[in-house]
Every structure is written in C-alpha cells, then in structure tokens.
A and B are shown apart, each in its own frame.
Chain A
Amino acid sequence: MKTLVIIPAFNEAANIENLTKELISFGYDYLIINDGSTDETAEILRKNSYSFLDLKENVGIAGVTKVGFRYAYENGFDGAIVIDGDGQHPPGYIHALLNEVAAGSDYVVGSRFVTEKKPLTPRMLGSRLLCLLIRLKTGVKVTDPTSGMRAMGKRVLADFAENMNFIAEPDALCYVLRKGYKVREIQVEMKEREGGVSYFANPFKSVRYMVNVILSILFVQW
C-alpha cells in the first residue's frame, strides 16, 4: 500500500528539521506543506531539498490538510496520514495507524486516551464536551476528537480531496462516522511542542474554535 505522510507546517522553523529527519529515517513518502510561513520554514525546506509544497498565501490548517489530501489522491496514493509540523506527534506511531488502515479501517485516529485516563484540565473539559456531542449524534464513543493525527484509506481520501467542508478535526470525525466509514482509534503518546506558539494559547481563539466546531457538529455534518 502506497501511503503519504502529510505534514502541515506554519512557522515551524524550530521543529521541522528534526521531524523530517526522523520521517526520512523511517523511509516514508512524505509531503510538507508550508502554509505561507513568515519565518524561515520555506528556506529550511529548500536548503535540505525536502519534499514540500510552498503555499504563497496562508490558508489555515483546514485548507492545508485539504491540499495534502488532494495531492495524495491525485498522485495515486492508497492512503494518507496527517501529523503536525510542530513535532507533537512522534513518527514512531505512524506505523501503527497505517497498519490499521491496511487492515481495512477507513479512518484511524491517533488518540491519547484509549488506554490512558483523560486529565481534568480546562482544555480536556472541552474535549469531553465534544466526545459527548459526537456520541449523542452518532452513537459512537470516541476518546480524542481533537487529535490531529489521523490516517485514512483511499475511500475517505477521495471524499476529502473532493468535498471537504470542516472547521477542524472533531467535526471531520463526526462526518466520517455519520457517513458510515469504519473508524478506529489507536493509542498514541503526544509530546509537548518543541518550539513555536500554540494556536490555543489565545483564549479568544479557543472559544471561537469550540463554538464553531459545536455548531458544525450540530447543524452541518449530517
């Protein structure tokens, strides 16, 4: 099975080199997508002759992953996996997710909480709320709806490459469940980001994210 590792990168100059070296050492086909970074991300990618797409205009995480899916689909890949460019998804787990896809799952989420307990932080409270909503809507119990580490087979890849209209990961998960795709979760460990700034450091953006995702789950993702 030919699979592509998709790595969205926005201002990840501090992390991207280590991550890519590790990916190459595993021997994966990969594609880094630079989302109009304002730091030296593009120069680093070019200098090292990595496989990458350099987007001129910033399109945001949802747009970048869509570009990745489209590239994978148009270049005849049978599956794809998304891992963050900030190094929080250790490449050691890619194998486990892709195996699950090869075994017949359509959509595999790398979850931090399949066997581990979810801590009681404010952010995880949000995660619990999303789990509850997805469960009410689809009847399926998920453990880590915000996880950005996701692998998918050809059917979902084709679907996403064509018509993708999501706010973020949780409503995408809701969509694939509603569509009746075979979804699995695999336990993974995630690291704290090695450098740069997280999107959710800004409380206003966190609230907007939650509101938008909840509206999308409730009203859009049938």
Chain B
Amino acid sequence: MNRTLQIFLFAFSLLSLIMILRSVYRNRMNIHYAMIWIIFGIVLIVISIFPRLISYLSRILGIYAPANTIFLVTIFFLYALSFYAYLRISKLNDQIQSLNYEIALLKKKFEENSKEQE
C-alpha cells in the first residue's frame, strides 16, 4: 500500500473513532449501540497500521486487488448493520404505537371519570 494512502487512512480512522467516542461521552449515542462502531473504528485503525492483513486476506479469498477486499468487507459490514438498524426501527415503531395506544386509553378513562364526578 502507498505510504500516503496509508497515512490518510490512519488519520481518517482515528478521526472517526474520536467522533464515535465523543458522541458516546456526550450521551448522543446509547452505549449499547456505540459498541459495534467502536469495534469498527478499532478495526479500521489496525488495518491502516498493518495493511498486510488485507493482502493476506485477499490471498485467502482469491481477490487480486486488496482494495476490493476492503470494499467487500466494508459493504458486508454496513449491509448487516443497516439490516439490524431496520429491525430495531421496526421494534421501536411497535413500541411507540403501543405506548401511544396506552396513553390514549388512559386519557379516555380519565376524561370519562372526571365527567362523572362533575
């Protein structure tokens, strides 16, 4: 790997890890969700320091250009992550709907009771 590219990759990885950690410190990201991003950030840094890991992986998978291996792995990771995020969103949707219903129900009962007392 080109030295300039390597430095660039390292700087970018470090920056993204700092960004992730800052989000967690400031309570903008729930710690349970931050873990996977922290791991991803660390993996990026490791790769930028030891690019041979990618060359090695490329040889095993039979991929000629190491850059393609990075693309493949990253796309797979992002694909899986966004799928998981969709699952979570769906669940949150259901939960909001359920709470919405419970609140509306309580409001209805409350209003009926206060009318009876008048």
Segment among B4-12, B45-53, B95-103 that sits at the interface with chain A: B95-103
A184 at the interface (CB under 8 A from B): no
Give Cα A174 to B64, complex, Å. Answer: 49
Query: Using a Cβ–Cβ cut-off of 8 Å, how many residues does chain A contribute to the interface with B?
Result: 16
Q: Which of the 9-residue segments A1-9, A56-64, A207-215 touches chain B?
A: A56-64
Nearest CB on A from B63, distance (A): 33
B103, A56: Cβ atoms closer than 8 Å: yes
Report how far A54 CA is from B105 CA in the complex, Å.
Answer: 8
Cα A55 to Cα B107 in complex, Å, equals 10
Interface size of B by Cβ–Cβ distance < 8 Å?
A: 11
**Does A183 belong to the interface (CB within 8 Å)?**
no
Judged by a CB distance under 8 angstroms, whether A158 is at the interface is: no
Residue of B104, B111, B115 near A55 (CB, 8 A) is B104
Q: Once bound together, how far apart are the Cα atoms of A33 and B101, in whole Å?
A: 10
A53-B115 in contact (CB<8A): no
Does the CB pair B97–A54 fall under 8 Å?
no
B101:A67 contact, CB within 8 angstroms: yes
Question: Which partner residue on chain B sits nearest A74 by CB separation?
Answer: B105
The residue on A at minimum CB distance from B96 is A57
A70 at interface (Cβ–Cβ under 8 A)? yes
Q: Any chain B CB within 8 A of the CB of A178? A: no
A66 to B97, CA, bound (A): 9
Query: Using Cβ atoms and an 8 Å threshold, which residues of chain B touch A54?
Result: 104, 107-108
Which residues on B sit within 8 Å (CB–CB) of A63? 97
List, sorted by A's number, 7 A–B pairs whose CB atoms are closer than 8 Å: A49-B115, A53-B107, A53-B108, A54-B108, A56-B100, A56-B103, A63-B97
B residues with CB within 8 A of A: 96-97, 100-101, 103-105, 107-108, 111, 115
